[in-house]
């Protein structure tokens, strides 16, 4: 019980970056436990995927050819069977939307604890110490558990593995019970199209929960007009129906890389930051000096946005 089993992530024919990040995290743990790093590649063009994830640090790759796209029932069955075969210490999965659609089920079926959204991992003997955030990133916690576990890792926390590996690649003959597959994926839809593509903008005036009321968006629109900039937002504004989905920056919205990103009343949850951290210059207007957005901002204003935004608009009118 020293091996690591990491489950790669793909969608619509493409491996996701998290697959390579899992290799880095998995290798680190395997080095600590003195075991091997096994990868599972389930569904889709498994041989092509296996070749791509055969990077430095991987010892063995197990492919399960079953269907094209992710299906949680197929994943759950395949992983539990691989677990029985390999008896790894830890099962690692990405903390992606799909990862969270099977990792807790795998843990439950195997009778193992699950710890999700980890940002750092360390082991000492049989004990795993997992670092995670609480309260939307206001605090970090360490959590210990003994023995085997299913662990999901936050995306983009570990660097992608590189190099070429010489892992063995073997087809694993999983016995998938079709009667136990109770969900069917019928397709995908890109959302957030429409008149504006915020990822093309040079300057984004981006608004978050701090704006408080829908009527107050007028001061944001006025500023964008004065600056000849584009309005974007964090998730709560779109959830409230105040702006359309095509304005949303973040993990489930658009990834943007403007010259200047002005974050107004945005706390900077990790899902939001994932969509804008590549901006050239980031300015945060937020009264909370401890807001997570400050970690990636280049410039900050701690005055009230309701004073600063109109003052800035006036400068350019």
5: β partners: 38, 91
Binding pattern for the stretch 90-109 against other proteins, x by CB under 8 A and - elsewhere: -----xxxx-xxxxxx-xxx
Contact assessment for residue 118 and residue 132, using Cβ atoms and an 8 Å cutoff: yes
User: In degrees to the nearest 10, what's the CA dihedral of 246, 250, 254, 259?
Assistant: 110
Residue 162 found at the interface with other proteins (CB under 8 A): no
| DSSP code for 220 | H
Residue where the block lists tokens 């493409």: 14
Closer residue to other proteins (CB): 125 or 166:
125
Q: Strand 230-233 relative to strand 203-207: parallel, antiparallel, unpaired?
A: parallel
What's the Rg (C-alpha) of the chain?
Answer: 22
Residue 137 found at the interface with other proteins (CB under 8 A): yes
Closer residue to other proteins (CB): 168 or 281:
281
Residue 129 found at the interface with other proteins (CB under 8 A): yes
Backbone angles phi, psi at 173, to 5 degrees: -85, 80
Closer residue to other proteins (CB): 47 or 120:
120
Q: What is the smallest separation between the CB atom of 308 and other proteins, expressed in angstroms?
A: 5
Restricting to residues 210-239, name those near other proteins by CB under 8 A. Answer: 226-229, 235-236, 238-239
Residue 294 found at the interface with other proteins (CB under 8 A): yes
Q: What is the smallest separation between the CB atom of 126 and other proteins, expressed in angstroms?
A: 12
Binder of other proteins out of 86, 260, 266, 273 (CB under 8 A): 260
State CA 234 to chain mean position distance.
16
Selection from 119, 109, 108 nearest residue 152 by Cα: 119
Q: What is the smallest separation between the CB atom of 254 and other proteins, expressed in angstroms?
A: 6
Residue 301 found at the interface with other proteins (CB under 8 A): yes
Residue 304 tokens, joined: 């009230």
Contact assessment for residue 123 and residue 149, using Cβ atoms and an 8 Å cutoff: no
6: β partners: 39, 92
Cα(159)–Cα(254) distance, rounded to whole angstroms?
22
Residue 299 found at the interface with other proteins (CB under 8 A): yes
Closer residue to other proteins (CB): 171 or 226:
226
Binder of other proteins out of 159, 170, 259, 278 (CB under 8 A): 259
Cα(290)–Cα(179) distance, rounded to whole angstroms?
51
Contact assessment for residue 300 and residue 286, using Cβ atoms and an 8 Å cutoff: yes
Contact assessment for residue 121 and residue 100, using Cβ atoms and an 8 Å cutoff: no
Residue 144 found at the interface with other proteins (CB under 8 A): yes
- Span interacting with other proteins, options 33-41, 47-55, 129-137, 214-222, rule CB under 8 A: 129-137
Q: What is the smallest separation between the CB atom of 302 and other proteins, expressed in angstroms?
A: 7
Closer residue to other proteins (CB): 27 or 254:
254
Binding pattern for the stretch 52-81 against other proteins, x by CB under 8 A and - elsewhere: --------------------x---x-----
- Span interacting with other proteins, options 60-68, 140-148, 159-167, 170-178, rule CB under 8 A: 140-148
């Amino acid at each position: 019980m020293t091996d690591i089993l990491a489950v790669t992530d793909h969608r619509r024919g493409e491996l996701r970056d998290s697959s390579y990040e899992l290799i880095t995290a998995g290798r680190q743990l395997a080095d600590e436990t003195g075991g091997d790093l096994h990868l599972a590649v389930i569904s889709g063009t498994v041989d092509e995927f296996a070749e791509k994830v055969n990077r430095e640090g991987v010892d063995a790759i197990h492919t399960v050819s079953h269907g094209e796209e992710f299906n949680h029932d197929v994943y759950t069955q395949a992983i539990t069977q691989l677990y029985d075969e390999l008896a790894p210490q830890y099962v690692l999965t990405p903390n992606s939307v799909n990862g969270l659609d099977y990792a807790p089920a795998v843990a439950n079926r195997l009778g193992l604890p699950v710890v999700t959204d980890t940002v750092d991992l360390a082991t000492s003997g049989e004990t795993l110490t997992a670092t995670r955030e609480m309260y939307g990133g206001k605090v970090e916690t360490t959590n210990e558990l003994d023995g085997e576990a299913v662990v999901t890792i936050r995306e983009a926390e570990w660097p992608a593995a590189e190099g070429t590996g010489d892992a063995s690649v073997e087809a694993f003959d999983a016995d998938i019970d079709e009667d136990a597959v109770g969900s069917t994926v019928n397709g995908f839809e890109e959302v957030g199209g429409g008149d504006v593509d915020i990822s093309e903008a040079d300057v984004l005036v981006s608004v978050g929960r701090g704006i408080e009321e829908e009527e107050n968006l007028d001061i944001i629109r006025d500023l964008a007009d004065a600056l000849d900039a584009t309005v974007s937002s964090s998730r709560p504004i779109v959830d409230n129906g105040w702006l359309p989905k095509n304005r949303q920056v973040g993990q489930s919205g658009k990834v943007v890389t403007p010259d200047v990103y002005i974050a107004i009343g945005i706390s900077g949850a990790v899902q939001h930051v994932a969509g804008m951290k590549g901006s050239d210059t980031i300015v945060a207007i937020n009264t909370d000096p401890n807001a997570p957005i400050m970690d990636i901002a280049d410039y900050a204003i701690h005055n009230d946005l309701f004073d600063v935004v109109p003052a800035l608009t006036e400068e350019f009118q």
